[in-house]
């Protein structure tokens, strides 16, 4: 008989390459804390069910504490037969307390165990990620408040469109991240279900009080179906979707800043601490933090599609394919645990350049304002759009700026123009016209800032 958890019916050794193929200890060791927490609670449930004596329970809990200690201090020694974290912990427990360790797995399967571990792990991680998100949001709000006076070109199709407050642009990302934050909270509700007690697939024959077990582990619900409980990785897929979409948001933010920090726009100067140089061109300062974030969004999307592809053809219940959930999950977590604070730092240290923003404002970004002015004089918008189109064409023909066209010229195009129309050539005025909620006028942006601060205050847990 081999020394394996499942060795009884096997003769001889597993092929070494097969063992390498099968083993997950290399990556699932990061579940050690969750695994041990789950096992300690399960041991108590076994005691309640009359399977363990008080002394055996004490030994198991004590032994598991030692094992956790070894993991945490880096002293845990992985041995050749340690297939995964569950096997390794039990093997070590056996070394520490002897045969009593063999009672821990009564009525439990690694199938319900690993599903429980993953949920416990992810529950902790999403709190950490919520904190990282909040820090980035806080940075965006602080910048928005500090630079409320700055006006820059707003873009559609990345063509100059209408002037907006720099703060308004910053806050557009605050709201994206707020949706990400909400989604994570939402996922928290679906994570809050305990699979333990599902056994391998059919449930447990023991008098395990699953509600009490759930309470011990801080879950408010138990899985209602044991087959579903062991085969369900929806919560991992959801997390990976969350990560992919957040990655897309970070990528878009990065793309904006790669463009804004390019010397030909020069709206911001990035700090040396978040940029790198070229080994060949001495003048270069490259926005690597943002390029990496943009690039890494690709791997986050890959993790989501990879997992969904793994899941789609599986028969019900547990299948070893599910072991493929972990590396993707852990990599998504690691990627974002790093990307979020790096981008937060890059944002907090960049230097906005008011002169460059102002220099990039072009009069034709006020063409809509001129059309709006005609609308206020009773001309239907469709018609005023066409009239201002003619004004733009005239300026193009004369190769001058819109504000250089005198009143007589405007009036030749349409008699409704009078001296007041010329007041339109003012970027501050244009921005301040957009005072409806959600717009870019100072008052409307200040409302956003207040709303954002209220949310950040409420988001504390
Ligand atoms: N390492 C496995 C995983 O990550 C644990 C569950 C193994 N279950 C089994 N029946 N072999 O999915």
Give the model confidence (pLDDT) of 402-414 as tens digits: 999 999 999 999 9
Q: How confident is the model at residue 282 (pLDDT cuts 50, 70, 90)?
A: confident
Contact yes or no for 393/409 (Cβ under 8 A): no
Number of neighbouring beta carbons within 10 Å of residue 335: 20
Give the model confidence (pLDDT) of 185-220 as tens digits: 999 999 999 999 999 999 999 999 999 999 999 999
Identify the residue whose tokens are 């300690």.
40
Give the model confidence (pLDDT) of 50-88 as tens digits: 999 999 999 999 999 999 999 999 999 999 999 999 999
- Same domain flag for 63 and 182: no
Rama region for 4: left / alpha / beta (φ>0; ψ in -120 to 50; rest): beta
Q: How confident is the model at residue 13 (pLDDT cuts 50, 70, 90)?
A: confident
Query: Residue 460: its pLDDT value, please?
Result: 43
Number of neighbouring beta carbons within 10 Å of residue 81: 18
DSSP state of 220: S
Question: Is the minimum distance from the CB of 111 to ligand 1 under 6 angstroms?
Answer: yes
Told to judge if 401 belongs to the known catalytic residues of this protein, a careful annotator would answer no
Active-site residue, from 73, 157, 264, 279: 157
Give the model confidence (pLDDT) of 258-276 as tens digits: 999 999 999 999 999 999 8
Q: How far is the centre of ligand 1, averaged over its atoms, from the C-alpha of 200 (Å)?
A: 10
Told to judge if 278 belongs to the known catalytic residues of this protein, a careful annotator would answer yes
Query: Residue 397: its pLDDT value, please?
Result: 97
- Same domain flag for 254 and 158: yes
- Same domain flag for 155 and 242: yes
Domain count, the chain: 3
- Same domain flag for 39 and 177: no
Contact yes or no for 92/70 (Cβ under 8 A): yes
Number of neighbouring beta carbons within 10 Å of residue 363: 18
Boundary-marking domain end, from 57, 81, 106: 106
Please name the residue whose Cα sits nearest to atom 7 of ligand 1: 110
Residue 41 above 60 pLDDT?
Answer: yes
- Same domain flag for 435 and 291: no
Q: How far is the centre of ligand 1, averaged over its atoms, from the C-alpha of 47 (Å)?
A: 25
**Residues near 108 by beta carbon (within 8 Å), at least 6 away in sequence:** 42, 196, 199, 204
Identify the residue whose tokens are 């645990």.
337
Q: How confident is the model at residue 3 (pLDDT cuts 50, 70, 90)?
A: low
C-alpha span between 295 and 426 (Å, rounded): 39
Boundary-marking domain end, from 359, 376, 405: 359
Q: Three-state DSSP class for 449?
A: helix
- Same domain flag for 350 and 391: no
Tell me the residue range of the domain where 99 lies. 7-106
Enclosing H/E stretch for 163: strand 159-165
| CATH classification of the domain holding 435 | 1.10.40.30
Question: Is the minimum distance from the CB of 322 to ligand 1 under 6 angstroms?
Answer: yes
DSSP state of 314: P
Torsion of CA 59, 61, 63, 68, to 10 degrees: 180
Boundary-marking domain end, from 75, 90, 106: 106
- Whether 2 is covered by a domain: the verdict is no
* Ligand 1 pocket test target in 28, 84, 325 with most atoms within 8 Å of CB: 84
Question: Is the minimum distance from the CB of 24 to ligand 1 under 6 angstroms?
Answer: yes
Enclosing H/E stretch for 161: strand 159-165
Contact yes or no for 108/38 (Cβ under 8 A): no
């Amino acid at each position: 008989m081999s020394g394996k958890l499942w060795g009884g019916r096997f003769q001889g050794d597993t092929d070494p390459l097969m063992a390498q193929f099968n083993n997950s200890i290399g990556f699932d060791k990061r579940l050690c804390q969750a695994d041990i927490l789950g096992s300690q609670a399960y041991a108590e449930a076994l005691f309640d069910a009359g399977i363990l004596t008080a002394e055996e329970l004490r030994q198991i809990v004590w032994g598991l504490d030692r094992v956790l200690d070894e993991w945490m201090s880096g002293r845990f020694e992985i041995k050749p037969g340690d297939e995964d974290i569950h096997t390794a912990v039990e093997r070590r427990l056996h070394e520490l307390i002897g045969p009593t360790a063999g009672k821990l797995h009564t009525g439990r399967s690694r199938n319900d165990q690993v599903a429980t571990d993953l949920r416990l792990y992810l529950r902790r991680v999403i709190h950490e990620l919520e904190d990282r998100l909040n820090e980035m949001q806080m940075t965006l709000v602080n910048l928005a408040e500090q630079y409320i006076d700055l006006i820059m070109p707003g873009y559609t199709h990345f063509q100059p469109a209408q002037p907006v407050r720099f703060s308004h642009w910053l806050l557009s990302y605050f709201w994206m991240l707020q949706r990400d934050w909400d989604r994570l909270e939402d996922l928290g509700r679906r994570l809050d279900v305990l699979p333990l007690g599902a056994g391998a697939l059919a449930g447990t024959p023991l008098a395990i009080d699953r509600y009490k077990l759930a309470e011990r582990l801080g879950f408010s619900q138990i899985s209602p179906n044991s087959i579903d409980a062991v085969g369900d990785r929806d919560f991992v897929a959801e997390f990976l979707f969350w990560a992919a979409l957040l990655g897309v948001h970070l990528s878009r933010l990065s793309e904006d800043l790669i463009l804004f920090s390019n010397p030909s726009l020069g709206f911001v100067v990035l700090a040396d601490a978040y940029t790198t140089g070229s080994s060949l061109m001495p003048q270069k300062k490259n926005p690597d933090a943002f390029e990496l974030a943009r690039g890494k969004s690709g791997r986050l999307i890959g993790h989501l599609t990879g997992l969904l592809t793994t899941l789609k053809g599986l028969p019900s219940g547990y299948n070893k394919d599910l072991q493929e959930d972990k590396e993707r999950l852990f990599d998504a977590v690691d990627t974002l645990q790093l990307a979020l604070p790096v981008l937060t730092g890059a944002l907090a240290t960049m230097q906005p350049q008011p002169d460059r923003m102002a220099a990039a404002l072009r009069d034709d970004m006020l063409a809509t304002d001129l059309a709006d002015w005609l609308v206020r004089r009773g001309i239907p918008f469709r018609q005023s759009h066409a009239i201002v189109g003619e004004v733009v064409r005239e300026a193009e023909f004369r190769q001058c700026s819109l504000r250089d066209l005198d009143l007589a010229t405007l009036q030749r195009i349409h008699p409704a123009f009078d001296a007041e129309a010329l007041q339109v050539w003012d970027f501050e005025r244009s921005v301040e016209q957009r005072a409806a909620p959600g717009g870019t006028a100072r008052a409307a942006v200040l409302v956003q800032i207040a709303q954002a601060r209220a949310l950040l205050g409420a988001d504390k847990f």
